[in-house]
Amino acid sequence: MIPVKSFFAELKRRKVHRVAIAYAVAAWLLIQIATQVFPFFEIPNWAVRLVVIMLVLGFPIALILSWIFDLTPQGIRRTDEADRDLAPPAGMRSATTRNIPEKSIAVLPFENLSDDKENEYFAAGVHDDVLSSLAKVADLKVISRTSVQQFKSGARNLREIGRALGVAHILEGTARRAGNRIRVNAQLIDARSDDHLWGETFDREITDLLTLQSELAQRITEALRANLSAREKTNLQSHPTQDILAYELFLRARELFHWAGSGYSPDKGAHALRLIEEAVERDPRFALAYALKSRLHSEVYWFGYDKSRAHLEKANTAAETALKLQPDLGEAHLAKAFYYYYGFRRYDTARAHVTAALRAIPNNADVLIAAAAIARREGKWQEALSNTEQARDRDPRSLLVLWELFVNYLAVHEYTKAEGAVSEALSISPTAPFFILAPGAIALFRDGVTAPLRSLLGKIPRNFDPGGAISTISLRLSLMERDLPEAERVLAACVHEKLEEEGLSGVAGALDGYIVPKSWYAGLIVQARGDASAARAAFERAKQAVEDDLAHCSEDAKSLVMLAMIHAELGEKKNALNAASRDGVLLPISRDSFDGPILATTAASVSVKLGEKDSAIQQLESLVGVPNGPTPGILRVEPAWDSLRDDPRFKKLAGG
């Protein structure tokens, strides 16, 4: 038997009470019309009585239908089906099994009601400002932007959204702009019961927008009974810029900046930089925009799109400008952290800035991801996993967060948890290409089989190859499978001259985040064909490309180990050993526990190529089982180890 309280809660969830009220009002109107109009047309009294009887009989039918069916954007559907569509997808964690904090909230995107759709960024700006203000309150759990953005359109079952995001409260609203007037409507809902806790409509001049946003954030903290420090109270009254157009430019740039599970294009970064330059030109005191500008320059440098030190100098200048304008700005400290992280691998200094950022913006998932990234570089893998899980709690539907979770669990060889992160991501975005490939990568590392990854590559659109990353995976797989015709086909179809590596297809030479010359793979293929002359010509071209990179950054460890591999293929033993030695000094595992094992494994493959088999096996013995190092499965399939396969010591390592 259903408890009385649960029964009434279910009536409310299915909106039966709304139908009852609407039906009663409509029935009363129809009865009034019948009693007043029917006599005028000399319609018999029995017709009036018939209308009343039909309306009375229809009342329970309407209630039953409202219990069974629901009105959705897709039309009338059974309530159970609509609930399933809105419920957390298979594989996604639901908050029903977690302890949801009372002081927790998700601010859903505000609906733009303006007639001019150009004002879409106006509504986004109102939403963003309120969300950013609340995220600075340490006493609240506030869901990050990426996750709430996925509920921008479509039917909203607030109870299910609350469970999916792990919050007790939801704020939703609308924004309308007409000339110099604005209207913002907001309501706070208890996501556990659908109870309306607070709501208000604000009608103001556009010049009062910032005051309105502060007032709105203040009302929400009061409704949630959040404890605010003096600094947090001040923060609620502050705003990133007074220039609305500059803020819209910032929002557009940030939208391009965030990786979306579909690959990152250098074109997006260039476009974002142009937009952010416009923003700071409009408002030279826009500290938040300077912080984003710094991060964009740091990423262009780190991911190999342009290794010139000019990007680092611009990243530092922008971060320093942001900190000078707002010394306590969390995003500025985060930008400074990435400057030290990406530019110099100075993880201790980066950690200090991340700590400052965490104090300022405790609910920001980006900060927690940065803390996790630093921890794994320092070999603190449990701390890295803990921080990444906290980031998932704050941004449960972020593909970036779930990717980091997958990468970390894959690195520590916790394959079941890695599969869980992938499943969760695919339930959110079934077409995210790198997540589609991730199960194949797990099989490759765990079992040493290439077939699953090869099969999954077939699900990726042929025209999708950001930075050549898909081509890299396919080329490496083809070489593992000794399928030279397929390798040649992939290379011929690839339009990129430099190919990105995403870390999904092995360890030796798989320099995650590095841009590998296309001529390197051309050399490997023709060498396998037995064409020594063509191989030498290709490797010489690859050497020139890497040396050009080193001219910009002479101490880049990944460029050095790449150069060592090329020297080894060219038979230049002394140069190969020298480059590999420099790489080992610059970035040993003790300095970087994430890239270090990859570079050390690659250096071992150089030793193999140079005939230093004993040295190579000694290196591998210290690397197998290390987080982010080679696995027995990888050793069984990578061609770099072919000359070691008859050695009993190698057989033991590859046997698991």
- What's the confidence (pLDDT) of residue 236? 84
- What's the confidence (pLDDT) of residue 213? 84
- What's the confidence (pLDDT) of residue 531? 97
Is 483's pLDDT higher than 50? yes
Q: What is the average per-residue pLDDT within 564-581?
A: 95
- What's the confidence (pLDDT) of residue 618? 96
Q: What are phi and psi of 378, to 5 degrees?
A: -85, 5
Best CA proximity match to 513, nearest among 475, 449, 563, 557: 557
C-alpha radius of gyration, the chain, whole number: 30
* Cα maximum dimension of the chain: 112
Is 24's pLDDT higher than 60? yes
Is 538's pLDDT higher than 50? yes
More confident residue, 532 or 229: 532
CATH class of the domain at 95-237: alpha beta
Give the model confidence (pLDDT) of 383-417 as tens digits: 999 999 999 999 999 999 999 999 999 999 999 99
More confident residue, 485 or 175: 485
More confident residue, 174 or 452: 452
7 pLDDT tier (thresholds 50, 70, 90)? low
Best CA proximity match to 388, nearest among 352, 360, 424, 437: 424
CB atoms within 10 A of CB 498: 17
Q: How many Å apart are CA 79 and CA 623, to the nearest integer?
A: 55
- What's the confidence (pLDDT) of residue 117? 63
- What's the confidence (pLDDT) of residue 177? 84
CB atoms within 10 A of CB 239: 17
Q: How many Å apart are CA 586 and CA 600, to the nearest integer?
A: 11
- What's the confidence (pLDDT) of residue 76? 57
* Element of type H or E holding 75: strand 75-78
Q: What is the mean pLDDT of the chain?
A: 88
Is 356's pLDDT higher than 80? yes
- What's the confidence (pLDDT) of residue 299? 86
More confident residue, 357 or 97: 357
Residue 387's Cβ-side half-sphere holds a number of Cα atoms within 13 Å equal to 25
- The least confident of 37-46, 137-146, 593-602 is 37-46
2 pLDDT tier (thresholds 50, 70, 90)? very low
Rounded to 10 degrees, what is the CA torsion of 417, 419, 421, 423? -140
List Cβ neighbours of 287 (8 Å cut-off, separation of 6 or more). 240, 321, 322, 323, 325, 326, 329, 332
In this structure, what token pair is assigned to residue 417? 């948890």
Could you please state the CATH topology (level 3) that the domain comprising 244-426 is classified under: 1.25.40
Could you please state the CATH topology (level 3) that the domain comprising 466-654 is classified under: 1.25.40
Best CA proximity match to 259, nearest among 272, 243, 248: 272
CB atoms within 10 A of CB 336: 28
Best CA proximity match to 200, nearest among 177, 227, 181, 173: 173
- What's the confidence (pLDDT) of residue 15? 66
- The least confident of 40-54, 290-304, 524-538, 619-633 is 40-54
118 pLDDT tier (thresholds 50, 70, 90)? low
Q: What is the average per-residue pLDDT within 91-103?
A: 62
Q: How many Å apart are CA 379 and CA 373, to the nearest integer?
A: 10
Q: How many helices (H) and strands (E) are present in the chain, helices listed first?
A: 31, 10
Q: What is the average per-residue pLDDT within 299-315?
A: 84
12 pLDDT tier (thresholds 50, 70, 90)? low
Three-class SS string for 135-191?
HCCCCCEECCHHHHHCCCCCCCCHHHHHHHHCCCEEEEEEEEEECCEEEEEEEEEEC
In this structure, what token pair is assigned to residue 23? 């039906």
Q: What is the average per-residue pLDDT within 158-186?
A: 90
Is 6's pLDDT higher than 50? no
Beta-sheet pairing, 141-142 with 104-107: parallel
- What's the confidence (pLDDT) of residue 73? 42
In this structure, what token pair is assigned to residue 360? 């300022």
More confident residue, 371 or 41: 371
- What's the confidence (pLDDT) of residue 74? 45
Q: What is the average per-residue pLDDT within 295-304?
A: 85
More confident residue, 349 or 23: 349
Q: How many Å apart are CA 571 and CA 516, to the nearest integer?
A: 20
- The least confident of 6-15, 321-330, 552-561 is 6-15
Task: Tell me which long-range contacts 295-300 makes (C-beta under 8 A, separation of at least 24).
Answer: 295/257, 295/334, 295/335, 295/338, 296/253, 296/257, 296/269, 296/272, 297/273, 298/335, 298/338, 298/339, 298/341, 298/342, 298/343, 299/257, 299/269, 299/338, 299/342, 300/266, 300/269, 300/273
88 pLDDT tier (thresholds 50, 70, 90)? very low
Is 79's pLDDT higher than 70? no
Three-class SS string for 543-602?
HHHHHHHHHHCCCCHHHHHHHHHHHHHCCCHHHHHHHHHHHHHHCCCCCCCCHHHHHHHH
- What's the confidence (pLDDT) of residue 46? 79
Is 69's pLDDT higher than 50? yes
Give the model confidence (pLDDT) of 604-648 as tens digits: 999 999 999 999 999 999 999 999 999 999 999 999 999 999 999
Question: Does pTM top 0.85 for this prediction?
Answer: no
Is 435's pLDDT higher than 80? yes
244-426 and 466-654, same CATH topology: yes
Q: What are the structural domain ranges in the chain?
A: 4-86, 95-237, 244-426, 466-654
Task: Tell me which long-range contacts 408-414 makes (C-beta under 8 A, separation of at least 24).
Answer: 408/372, 408/376, 408/381, 408/384, 409/385, 410/441, 410/442, 410/445, 411/376, 411/381, 411/594, 411/627, 411/628, 412/381, 412/385, 412/627, 413/445, 413/446, 413/625, 413/627, 413/631
List Cβ neighbours of 362 (8 Å cut-off, separation of 6 or more). 135, 136, 137, 138
Q: Tokens 């569509």 label which residue?
A: 85
* Element of type H or E holding 54: helix 45-68
- What's the confidence (pLDDT) of residue 308? 81
